[in-house]
């Protein structure tokens, strides 16, 4: 056992990746890198606009800035290493690097899932109790919501990282994924990890279904409020307010549930890799687009920023 542990700490792992060097895979790799660049720029721009424009200093946009920060960190956790390995031809990752990837990935996915759930509560308060909204969603409540989301993710990420990286690993140590994905890594352990995998499955069920239940309950209340509205304009405004959040929730939870809530015998590494690309790169790119292109206030802030830049360049 001691020899295994020593070997685990001194040796790294080999990431088999998702792309070969065929023409089709080169095109797919280029597409992923383009999506990564858009995700990077889109989230940085959205955080900057929310920070700079006083009109966007509201609870909804504060939560959105935190969501963008999580997305920004998520795309930077796995994609740069995947790209470096693909371009250099080296597939290695150090033991410490693998642990950091697991910790950050679990932390950010957990934090984002809970924040999306609590953002549904914010939409419920805004639509069902508009007059009390500034009191019910004051600065202290907003900080508690985001703080609890981050704390939940960080604690979960640290626990899972410490446990997974303390298992002994042996053999060829080839991870059948493009990053140190926990379930793929556990297949290489020299000991029986079935009990831990059952605990992880139970944690995943809780981490996904708890926020999802908040979302369902919030939108059930919102639907009840909307059905009582007699004004068509008020109905449309409520729908517009919720549509962006519902789209983001569908993308995130659809992919996460597909990977982590399927029975073990239905899992295929190729499916998991493609789905992981979807919610580690594509969803972080789509979130700022969903919230900006369908939102007049964000587009207005962008136009004002561009006008300032144009006036500044003329002087």
Angle between helices 232-260 and 269-277 (to 10 degrees): 140
Contact yes or no for 252/279 (Cβ under 8 A): yes
| β partners of residue 93 | 13
Rounded-to-integer distance, Cα 235 and Cα 122, Å = 17
Rounded-to-integer distance, Cα 157 and Cα 161, Å = 6
Top-level CATH class of 12-308? mainly alpha
pLDDT by 10s per residue, the chain, length 315: 443 344 445 578 988 888 887 888 899 899 999 999 999 999 998 998 888 888 888 898 899 999 999 999 999 999 999 999 888 888 889 999 999 999 999 999 999 989 989 988 998 898 888 889 999 999 999 999 999 999 999 999 999 999 998 998 887 788 888 899 888 898 889 898 889 888 888 888 888 888 888 888 888 888 888 778 777 776 776 777 677 778 888 888 887 777 777 766 666 666 777 778 877 888 888 888 887 766 777 777 777 777 777 666 665
Q: 97: how many CB neighbours lie within 10 A of its CB? A: 15
The gap from C-alpha 194 to its chain's centroid, in whole angstroms, comes to 27
Pairing of the two strands 13-15 and 92-93: antiparallel
Contact yes or no for 80/281 (Cβ under 8 A): no
Contact yes or no for 157/100 (Cβ under 8 A): no
Domain positions in the chain are 12-308
The model's pTM: 0.87
CB within 8 A of 140, min separation 6: which ones?
none
């Amino acid at each position: 056992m001691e020899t295994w542990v020593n070997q685990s700490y001194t040796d790294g792992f080999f990431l088999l990746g998702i792309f070969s060097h065929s023409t089709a895979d080169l095109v797919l790799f280029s597409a992923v890198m383009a999506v990564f660049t858009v995700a990077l720029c889109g989230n940085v721009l959205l955080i900057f606009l929310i920070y700079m424009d006083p009109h966007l200093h509201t609870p909804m946009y504060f939560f959105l800035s935190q969501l963008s920060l999580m997305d920004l960190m998520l795309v930077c956790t796995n994609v740069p290493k995947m790209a470096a390995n693909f371009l250099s031809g080296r597939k290695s990752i150090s033991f410490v690097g693998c642990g950091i990837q697991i910790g950050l990935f679990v932390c950010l996915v957990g934090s984002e899932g809970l924040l999306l759930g609590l953002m549904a509560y914010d939409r419920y308060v805004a639509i069902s109790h508009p007059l009390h909204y500034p009191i019910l969603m004051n600065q202290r409540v907003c900080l508690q919501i985001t703080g609890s989301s981050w704390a939940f993710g960080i604690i979960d990420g640290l626990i899972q990282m410490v446990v997974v990286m303390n298992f002994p690993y042996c053999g060829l140590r080839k991870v059948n994924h493009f990053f140190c994905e926990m379930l793929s890594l556990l297949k290489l352990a020299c000991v029986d990890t079935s009990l831990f995998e059952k605990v992880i499955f139970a944690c995943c069920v809780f981490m996904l279904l708890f926020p999802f239940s908040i979302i369902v309950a919030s939108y059930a209340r919102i639907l009840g409020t909307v059905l009582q509205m007699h004004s068509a304009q008020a109905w449309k405004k409520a729908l517009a307010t919720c549509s962006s959040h519902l789209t983001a929730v569908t993308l995130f939870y659809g992919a996460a549930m597909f990977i982590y809530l399927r029975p073990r015998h239905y899992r295929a590494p190729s499916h998991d890799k493609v789905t992981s690309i979807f919610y580690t790169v594509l969803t972080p790119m789509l979130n700022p687009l969903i919230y900006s292109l369908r939102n007049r206030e964000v587009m207005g802030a962008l136009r004002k920023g561009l006008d300032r830049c144009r006036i500044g360049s003329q002087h």
